[in-house]
Structure 1
Amino acid sequence: MRCLFQNLLPLLIIWSCAALIVFQRDGSAVSLPNNETVPAVIVFGDSIVDPGNNNYITTLIKCNFLPYGRDFAGGDRPTGRFSNGLVPSDIIAAKFGVKNSLPAYLDPNLQLEDLLTGVSFASGGAGYDPLTSTLVSVISLPSQLEMFIDYKIKIKQAVGESRAAYIVSKGIYIVCIGSDDIANTYAQTPFRRAQYDIPSYTDLMAEQAISFLQELYGVGARRIGVFGLTALGCVPSQRTVAGGVGRACVDSSNQAASLFNSKLSSQMSALNKKFPDARLVYLDSYNPLLDMIHNPALYGFEETEKGCCGTGNIEVGILCNPYSLNMCPNASNYIFWDSYHPTERAYSVLSSLVLDNKIQDFF
């Protein structure tokens, strides 16, 4: 399924003198301009794009147990992904024609071909705010970057400097992180709220984001997509905790996410001018998710306010476990899998809405 070097794009159909069209399992297609090929997809972030790195560290932020993964590759495979199946890192790797799932860098069973076509360094619970990762003992963003530097050394030793340099410079990099900063660290840490109001806290987040992107550029990344925050106030757990009796979307959380997104987008535009040989692409996930929630029937969903796992109101991580009652029979009808993370199908729809019209901006 994954052939090294000459056959890195197993899902291609090459039309004569045309762009490459990459077909996903759901039938959607994206175009890579000028017969471009992508050697690898490399991901940094949090639980949205963690395919199991947290399995191999000492933290409570884990999901390597059922019902997580109950629909992964045919069923009942809890891999450490915070969903019932695939997560966006997998879906994005498929969109760029690289492979159908993106492994965790810390997986001890990684093969050379896994490394050469990309991995995820993401760790559930991480954030832009340095405090976020510390609070829950997960892999911080700076530590993820250190892991990437180690990754570069490994592939250089395996395939030589020239091939490694090609993988690093032509690979697609995805950064998806920040929701835990607002939903957890800021909301639940009194001394953080004493230090910062929302405008100054989102300034801190944006400063950390831009610093990371500059460091990532410094170690060779050039094609970098950065996800903005989703409408955090509308995820089930936030509705339960702060949405009142009616479990309404929490406006303050949504406003904080939107404020951060505007700062991130603006500063990324400035960074693009500073690094003209780079392609930094801001990926808006806020509005697409909000539209999915407000218009579920348009996307084939039925339930938008609670997750599939248990009551769907508060269960996430260790609270969503084999003993959870009232599991929904068909997760594809739900936008959310647990009280914080979407289902595989919602991730697939959202990834298409966010990424498909931005593909050419990477090249």
Structure 2
Amino acid sequence: MKSNTSWSCSCFILKQCLLSVLVLTETVVAINLPPNLTIPALIAFGDSIVDTGNNNNIKSIAKCNFQPYGINFQGGIPTGRFCDGRVPTDLIAEEFGIKSLVPAYLDPSLKPEDLLTGVSFASGGSGYDPLTPKLVAVISLEEQLKYFEEYIEKVKNIVGDERKDFILANSLFLLVAGSNDIANTYYVLRARPQYDVDSYTTLMANSTTDIVNKLYGYGVRRIAVFGAPPLGCLPSQRTLAGGLLRECAENYNEAAKLFNSKISKKLDLLHKTLPGIKPVYTNVYDPLLDIIQNPAKYGFGVSNKGCCGTGLIEVGPLCNKITASVCPDLSSRVFWDSYHPTEKTYKVVVSLLISKLVNKFV
């Protein structure tokens, strides 16, 4: 699978670029890392939570490279991030002192030196169920891994085998998926009628394990696997399944918790059976649910609808500058559109998770 990115760069210029990258990595640090912890890069796989623009370059309806997306991004530019600003990929990389923006692997302006500090392979609309990405024509996790193989070869050609192996073994890898499987494929579209919730979440959990095993085979050791959020409390799911009062759809939440318990156990088992691996289950369910249920505690005012349009259903192509206005009180909103949190919310969640991630990878 080939990208259309140009890789022409003279040896002299490339060395200067690499030097700049190393200096930046050493100086931009947001948290105090233990002296024995080195994180050279952040690399992400998954769905829209960590997609930084890959869907811009494919034929799919799952896009957001138009206004008002990116309204709080640098210069108000819609980059393909499903947010008003930055997403967890960027925020976590910044917290680890790597860089403040993680580019999409398919970004045509991607430079060779960008690879050394990390990229995102994620695709908004993707999921663990192989059917999920097909429903909206996005990049499956299997295809993301194919791109990753291409990435490994490029890194090897830039810095050699030894440094390539170091980057793979010491970088932080994010695996963030599952929301589209449960909310869209299973509940809204009912595209898997042969499964009950228990068997479907098992399918998802088994897929998670397969991906972690494959990453381990590539030489990856530090993997943060995000659990599913409280899906029933997302504004769109309240609208679709929360009744007239738009309460949280508890069946969605129960499915998310069931999936989370299964991957947590599977990651514990992998930690015991794969030498050197550090797979970390990352609980986003509880902190996000607390923000939704107690918004004032975190400086928010509205948690049951998004800022784009009515906030009840608009997401992706429905959230556009022609048909959907932006709320006047964005800073008080937990959600940007009907499915995705605001950058402010992401910052709160990341601040609650980051120290736990650091402690797990020492």
Which bin holds the TM-score, normalised by the shorter protein?
over 0.9
Counterpart residue number, 1:142: 142
The Cα RMSD (Å) is: 1.4
Counterpart residue number, 2:66: 65
Counterpart residue number, 2:10: none
Counterpart residue number, 2:34: 33
SS of corresponding position for 1:44: strand
SS of corresponding position for 1:249: coil
Overall identity of the aligned pairs, in % = 53
Q: Distance in 1 between matches of 2:163 and 2:80?
A: 31
- Contact 1:175 1:227 (C-alpha < 8 Å) held by counterparts: yes
AA of the residue aligned to 1:114: D
Instruction: Provide Cα deviations, 1:127-162, integer angstroms capped at 9, x if missing partner.
Output: 000000111111100111111110000011111111
Q: Distance in 1 between matches of 2:306 and 2:356?
A: 28
Instruction: Provide Cα deviations, 1:23-44, integer angstroms capped at 9, x if missing partner.
Output: 2xxxxxx332234221110000
Question: How many angstroms does 1:360 deviate by?
Answer: 1.6
Q: Distance in 2 between matches of 1:213 and 1:244?
A: 38
Counterpart residue number, 2:96: 96
Q: What runs of 5+ residues in structure 1 fail to find an aligned partner? A: 12-21, 24-29
Q: Distance in 2 between matches of 1:168 and 1:357?
A: 21
After TM superposition, the structure 1 = structure 2 runs for residues 1-363 of structure 1, keeping only pairs within 5 Å, are 3-11=20-28, 22-23=29-30, 30-73=31-74, 75-192=75-192, 194-363=193-362
SS of corresponding position for 2:27: coil
SS of corresponding position for 1:175: strand
AA of the residue aligned to 1:283: T
Counterpart residue number, 1:19: none
Q: Distance in 1 between matches of 2:325 and 2:56?
A: 26
SS of corresponding position for 2:124: coil
Q: Distance in 2 between matches of 1:33 and 1:197?
A: 45
Relative to the length of structure 1, the TM-score reads 0.92
Q: What runs of 5+ residues in structure 2 fail to find an aligned partner? A: 1-16
Question: How many angstroms does 1:323 deviate by?
Answer: 1.6
- Contact 2:70 2:76 (C-alpha < 8 Å) held by counterparts: yes
Q: Distance in 1 between matches of 2:225 and 2:354?
A: 11
AA of the residue aligned to 1:49: V
- Contact 2:37 2:361 (C-alpha < 8 Å) held by counterparts: no
Counterpart residue number, 1:26: none
Q: Distance in 2 between matches of 1:122 and 1:191?
A: 22
AA of the residue aligned to 2:143: S
SS of corresponding position for 2:304: strand
AA of the residue aligned to 2:326: M
- Contact 1:205 1:260 (C-alpha < 8 Å) held by counterparts: yes
AA of the residue aligned to 1:43: A
Q: 1:191 to 1:77 in 2, by over 3 A?
A: closer
Question: How many angstroms does 1:6 deviate by?
Answer: 4.7
Instruction: Provide Cα deviations, 1:9-35, integer angstroms capped at 9, x if missing partner.
Output: 332xxxxxxxxxx32xxxxxx332234
Q: Distance in 1 between matches of 2:42 and 2:24?
A: 15
